Copies of this chain bind each other. A is one copy, B any other.
């Protein structure tokens, strides 16, 4: 067959030729990164997935190729046959892997012309993110994105290899499925065959993976797309990828050991970083007490300090009344930060306000006593007790939040992270993992006036808390666990309920009627009664894990074709209008609010 390639076939990539290859005849194929003309000779930085090599068109060596090369511009696609030459000593380039050689071209094929790119294909790009997303085919040519996508590939293959070796089976679950109760909004897919009915895209394969355990597959995994129609935050996508696992005949320890091994393997393969295992474990209660957040960043100290008991009877009514009304007063000690300006303190107060803290009290600990708007409200004895509890030393700056336990913890927990960033306390090359365990099984939804599952309704309660399900549901702890890395949750899971009776009881506690339970989860309840092994699992957010592995700030930089925060694809212009005929077949009609 005749085609553009003819008999030409690539022998090497553009990143692998070295001085030791001198003299070889090679064929390279790739893109023009840059063209320079010098003394009648054309020099081209020639790029492919593997790297960059200099190729040379010399009119004295090959007049025909040189002539043909005249038209070449940036991003043209070429195939060249030539000889590897050592560069002259004064032309060596230590910064390039291939800087010791160049290719003297004998034969040139121009596969494709290229218009001038909208932005240059370089890591330092000035173009806005929306321009980059619109021209994603150019954006993806940039070395950093190429590296990210390749690292993501390496990560997913390392994960598969690790799990395969442990006897996990990669089993595919449906995408056109039934609405599941993950708490978020489903994407719906109208059915044409069964008009008026809808599929839901899965928020996770939760119920299917439990069915697979009930079916006896024992160890399941999948690297699988999931969907949530939520308003998007910076690090969320409407479709995201989950490393999803489930195991039978295991408890928490087994799952933690296996998933720690998985993380260790991935960090080694992708980044050559040795992660120490086993990871620390901390209960939810302890995490909240010490760090205010259920995803504590353990790379630095500055722990929260509960002073409610001390301040509850002091003359500072703001603190005292908060405690008396069931609230909480906590402090953190910004060691040595006495020189923070009023402006800096105000900016931190604004920061705490994002998390609904109504104010931020502070104390500067000076040689000669406290400098603080609130100092006057405390007796010396109270001051001494506080100073001891908070470990105050001269030069320290103390912050307090007094509010509901929830707001106090969150505002001060976030403030702790923010202070660490501002004070540069964080070593970005440290990877600090921790398991957070014993989450509450339920939380109370004030809006809907009912209990909600904190994890999901299939999470098992701790056996020793089972009797509190009736009497004190909010204090039932669950067998859920999250894996937290540097303050970010990267995975979470639980031991599941494997008894039909307990599952029915939990659903009832959640205020789900028997009828609703059977309509939504009847198949699970039936299956639970058919012989169910003890089982549990975990899911990692793969986009976020890849982002952390690549040291990127945005998950969009580790996804080939991401969506914007408005859930649109700027490259293809999705979503877009559907044809009238098609909507008719689906028996649906668009009825916008203005109609």
Interface residues of A (CB under 8 A from B): 1-5, 9-10, 29-32, 47-49, 75-77, 79, 111-115, 117, 135-138, 140-141, 146, 149-150, 152-153, 156-157, 160, 164, 169-179, 185-201, 207-208, 211-212, 214-218, 225, 227, 229, 231, 238-239, 241, 248-254, 462-464, 479, 495, 498-499, 523, 526-527, 529-534, 559-561, 563, 566-569, 571-578, 582-583, 585-593
Contacts and interface: CB of A to CB of B under 8 A. Distances in A.
8 contacts: A1-B462, A48-B218, A137-B530, A153-B169, A178-B574, A179-B576, A188-B190, A193-B567
Given A157-B164, A174-B561, A560-B172, A49 B137 contact: no
Nearest to A208: B561
User: What are the 6 tightest A-B residue pairs by CB atom distance, in nearest-first order?
Assistant: A114-B531, A140-B215, A75-B531, A197-B575, A178-B574, A191-B575
Contacts of A177: 569, 572, 574
B192 A571 contact: no
A560 B173 contact: yes
Contact of A588 (B79, B559, B569, B588): B588
A2 B466 CA distance: 12
A247 to B, nearest CB: 11
B214 A523 contact: no
Contacts of A526: 135
Given A137-B527, A153-B171, A527-B137, A199 B587 contact: no
A82 to B, nearest CB: 16
Given A5-B249, A176-B574, 19 more contacts: A5-B534, A29-B248, A48-B218, A111-B249, A111-B534, A112-B534, A153-B169, A156-B170, A176-B567, A176-B575, A185-B585, A189-B201, A193-B566, A195-B592, A196-B577, A208-B560, A211-B561, A211-B571, A588-B590
A31 B215 CA distance: 10
Contacts of A214: 137
B5 A197 contact: no
A47 B369 CA distance: 74
A513 to B, nearest CB: 15
B141 A216 contact: yes
Given A185-B582, A587-B590, A590-B196, A178 B569 contact: yes
Contacts of A588: 190, 588-591
Given A534-B5, A567-B194, A574 B215 contact: no
Contact of A211 (B136, B189, B241, B589): B136
A173 B150 CA distance: 14
A527 B208 CA distance: 40
A301 to B, nearest CB: 29
Nearest to A145: B215
A422 to B, nearest CB: 34
Nearest to A2: B463
A257 to B, nearest CB: 11
Contacts of A576: 178-179, 197-198
A190 B152 CA distance: 30
A7 to B, nearest CB: 10
Contacts of A189: 187-189, 201, 575
Nearest to A565: B193
Contact of A567 (B191, B225, B560): B191
A211 B590 CA distance: 32
B577 A587 contact: no
Nearest to A197: B575
A462 B574 CA distance: 33
A458 to B, nearest CB: 15
B146 A77 contact: no
Given A140-B215, A170-B157, A174-B239, A3 B495 contact: yes
Contacts of A559: 172
A532 B112 contact: yes
Given A529-B114, A574-B176, A593 B582 contact: no
B77 A533 contact: yes
A246 B274 CA distance: 35
B561 A111 contact: no
Contacts of A231: 193
Contacts of A160: 157, 160
Nearest to A577: B197
A3 B175 contact: no
Given A2-B464, A533-B111, A238 B176 contact: yes
A216 B31 contact: yes
A49 B216 contact: yes
Nearest to A254: B9
A176 B172 contact: no
Given A227-B176, A573-B523, A576-B198, A31 B531 contact: yes
